[in-house]
Structure 1
Amino acid sequence: MSYTSPNWNTSVLITIDTQNDFSLPNAPAEIVGTSQVLPNMVRVLEAYRQKGLPIIHVIRLYKEDGSNVDICRREAIENGAKIAAPHTDGAELVSEIRSLGYTSLDAVKLLNGEFQTVGENEWVMYKPRWGAFYQTDLEAFLRKREIDTIVFTGCNFPNCPRTSMYEASERDFRVVMVADSMSQVYEKGIQEMNNIGVHVCSLEEVLNTIK
């Protein structure tokens, strides 16, 4: 446990794909259950903001020509589906989780791999596939800031959060999954995360620790 237990004071909070087009009721690519966990996500975010700990919002952007879209969705985008398209409201973070200093996403900067500042010690970054580390500078960004623990919340556990947690574990980060602040969580998935040393916890544990 000494190698996998969270170091909360050197942790970063990551939200995954909590954008309008994935999160809101009746959105084009709604992940059922995401709107229901938003209040818990907000409370985790507030705790991190009050403590001054870093936050990164990891997002997807699908170019309308489909050129950067994963193959399972590319045909739909090429045929006119608009999901998290650059410069649209659907691509923006849901209003509930935005910081006070939030500004509209700079799609050009994000697609170029840059981190966009959206608050004090708070950024947005783009990932081109399921995992937050795949073809991104996330690892270098975290190592530079001596962050060794990653706390995950967000949208659609089976896909992007789950992949990102495996990637974080592969890089020897300490990994935390806030299970009640993430949509589409299921018991077998929790067991899988436990098996690779992920610290699975509840919102209340985070709030009791981040004071």
Structure 2
Amino acid sequence: MADIEDLDAILQQAFDESSRIYKERGFQRRIGFGKKPALVSVDLANAWTRPGNPFTCEGVDDRIIPSMQALLKACRENGHPVVHVTTAYQITDRDSPNTDMGLWHEKIPVEAVNLKDEHLWAIDSRIAPVEGEWVMMKKRASSFSGTPLAGYLRALGVDTILVTGVTATACVRTTICDGLAEGFRTIAVKEAIGDRVPGAVAWNLFDIDAKFADVETTATCVDYLETVNRRNEG
């Protein structure tokens, strides 16, 4: 516990100094919520949310799942689109020339998300998709890279994406960066984003908030999802 507290204290010092630099140079601006939201949930599949996998992340049971359940409830009751993103690979042999993941297999244990084992890449049953919610498989870190996600969202008239999932350092971060580049208002839902490495979530959310998205609490996002339709009607 002391080590985590020490890390938190060190990070807070870094955040305070970085905030000063960012503000002096015009960063940390706000993008705000738009009129038509969608929830984009990144890699909250069993390989990441359940114990015993190389990809298993921290804070899933006590923080991410409850946050996701609240967000899903608000989306479903108010007719907002939900996209569940997952990742799996057909070729997990590092020596095979027929890779379906570029050269990412040279860096990460791809065998842990083998396409043949559907349980690994199935969305966690606690936040399982319902009829009408799209489950999209990706091969790269970003949910936008090499996928039809941007076109799907535009066809629905979406202007705002609430991004959740894992990991803060990779798939969530790159999804947020590409989402902003594709012209969507990007919102990172604070309590619904996780990682495997201590300090990784805090640092990445701080930096994301400065440059690529607004980091907002689950409560703020749920309130937005529950009221945006009424505001649009008014």
TM-score (norm 1): 0.80
CA distance in 2, matches of 1:38, 1:73: 28
Rg: which structure is higher? 2
1:61-140 to 2 correspondences below 5 Å: 61-66=88-93, 67-74=99-106, 81-99=111-129, 101=130, 119-120=131-132, 122-140=133-151
CA distance in 1, matches of 2:203, 2:39: 24
Listed as ranges, the gaps of 5+ residues in structure 2 are: 1-27, 94-98, 227-234
2:83 aligned residue: 56
CA distance in 2, matches of 1:69, 1:170: 22
Identity percentage of aligned residues: 22
2:168 aligned residue: 157
Give a deviation string over 1:115-156, Cα, whole Å, max 9, x none.
Answer: xxxx23x10111110011111111111111111111001121
CA contact (8 A) 1:68 1:128 kept: yes
CA distance in 2, matches of 1:17, 1:179: 16
AA aligned opposite 2:83: I
Listed as ranges, the gaps of 5+ residues in structure 1 are: 102-118
More helix by share: 2
**In the alignment, structure 1 residue 47 sits paired with structure 2 residue 79:** no
Give a deviation string over 1:156-181, Cα, whole Å, max 9, x none.
Answer: 11110000100011122100000111
1:21 aligned residue: 47
1:147 aligned residue: 158
CA contact (8 A) 2:90 2:116 kept: yes
CA distance in 1, matches of 2:143, 2:55: 19
CA RMSD of aligned residues (A): 2.4
TM-score (norm 2): 0.73
After superposition, the Cα gap between the structure-2 partners of 1:158 and 1:3, relative to the gap in structure 1 and judged at 3 Å, is closer
